Amino acid sequence: MILLDGKKLALKIQEDIKKDVELLKQASITPGLAVIMVGDDPASRVYVKKKAEACKEVGIYSVVHEMPENIKEDTIVNTIKLMNENDSINGILVQLPLPEHINQTKILETIDPKKDVDGFHPFNMGRLFLDLESFVPCTPLGVMKIFEEYEIDLKGKNVCVVGASNIVGKPMSALLLNAFATVDICHIYTKNLSEHTNRADIVIVGVGKAGLITEDMVKEGAIVIDIGINRLDNGKLVGDVDFENVSKKCSYITPVPGGVGPMTIAMLLANTIKATKL
């Protein structure tokens, strides 16, 4: 079994980004990222902090707009519009989830697609599904970089994606399809999940349910990518895969932490540089 070391790869990518930022700064351009965070979700707070720290580490300017849970939708819309017009801001990201009373689609559609470093705007999502140049959501893009780094060929492979969210499962499936994999997308209403996962050469799971993927659900020699991040009652951070037992059957597997998580952050930095160069 080979461990897919996302942490190591992310550090390598961040070193390259650092050099890119230095070159941009020599041309008097400082890449800038604006993050909007609404409410006080503890997980979102941790992610936003990590994103800001990573920006600082590579020399990207970042600003976090923190807004209270009861904020009016219009206030968020107006903040995004200001960022759209602000030349020192190249990338805009709205941390999800948003509170119930906020129309998420309206918020995401307000972001200028050229500054949409999360790739969640329907313009970018549509282009991704058509295999056209676009901003690609950071987590699925990070998974693709792991495949590239470890020379895992996707052409003709049976890939089972567990979780069909707009953030992970759907864009992940589009990227895999664009790479000519045969994609099976499973979700909460899928019957006999293990029938699907057991057929797969590659299982990619991101639903946020600790221990969902057990040893009997993957075939011998499968490649397993764990996108889940769950905190157990004892404080331990785990993915959606029963790592201890599943890893014994795998050819490759991502650990949690240290797998896909750091790649998500690295891809956000990469997308911010891409937006700056645009």
CA distance 261 to 10: 9
**111 scored as a contact of ligand GUN (CB under 6 A):** no
**141 scored as a contact of ligand GUN (CB under 6 A):** no
- Count of residues near ligand GUN by CB under 6 A: 9
| Contact pattern for ligand GUN over residues 196 through 235, marking x by CB under 6 A | ----------------------------------------
**134 scored as a contact of ligand GUN (CB under 6 A):** no
* DSSP secondary structure, 50-113, as one string: HHHHHHHHHT-EEEEEEE-TT--HHHHHHHHHHHHH-TT--EEEE-SPPPTTS-HHHHHHHS-G
Q: Using the rule CB under 6 A, which residue among 118, 201, 240, 242 binds ligand GUN?
A: 118
**138 scored as a contact of ligand GUN (CB under 6 A):** yes
The stretch near ligand GUN (CB under 6 A) out of 15-23, 60-68, 91-99, 203-211 is: 91-99
Distance of CA 245 to CAs 70, 216, 218, 250, Å? 44, 9, 11, 10
**96 scored as a contact of ligand GUN (CB under 6 A):** yes
DSSP state of 216: G
Which H or E element spans position 38? Answer: strand 32-38
Q: Using the rule CB under 6 A, which residue among 60, 108, 167, 200 binds ligand GUN?
A: 167
Pull the structure tokens for residue 84.
């759209």
What residues numbered 231-260 form the site for ligand GUN, per CB under 6 A? none
Residue ranges that bind ligand GUN, judged by CB under 6 A: 93-96, 118, 138-139, 167, 264
